[in-house]
Amino acid sequence: MNLFCAAFLKLDHNFPTKIYKIMGTKNNPKNRVKNVEKKKHNGKEIEPVYYHGVHAGHGKYMAAKYAGTFQLVVDEKGQPIQWGKIV
């Protein structure tokens, strides 16, 4: 046992101690939101995707696709709908 440990063990610990509840980190899975309502289009869940339609003259933007498929959500003109315009 070194000198520091011996000196520390001889101290009298008769002072009141406070016990703090330790909060988890922001990355703790228990602190994450579980029930997030997903966006829907025509009753089906959708997910965001990056649409690169420069070759078709549509530009580049975040579009939507149906969850579990590769089918894009399109409007009546056949162009993919922008993610931000879906309510």
Question: pLDDT per residue over 15-65, tens digit each?
Answer: 665 666 666 677 888 777 777 778 999 999 999 999 999 999 999 999 999
Give me the domain span that covers residue 52: 3-85
Domains in the chain, number: 1
* Global confidence as pTM: 0.57
d(CA 65, CA 74): 9
Residue count (the chain): 87
Q: Which residues pair with 40 in a beta bridge?
A: 45
**Dist CA 48 CA 85 (whole Å):** 12
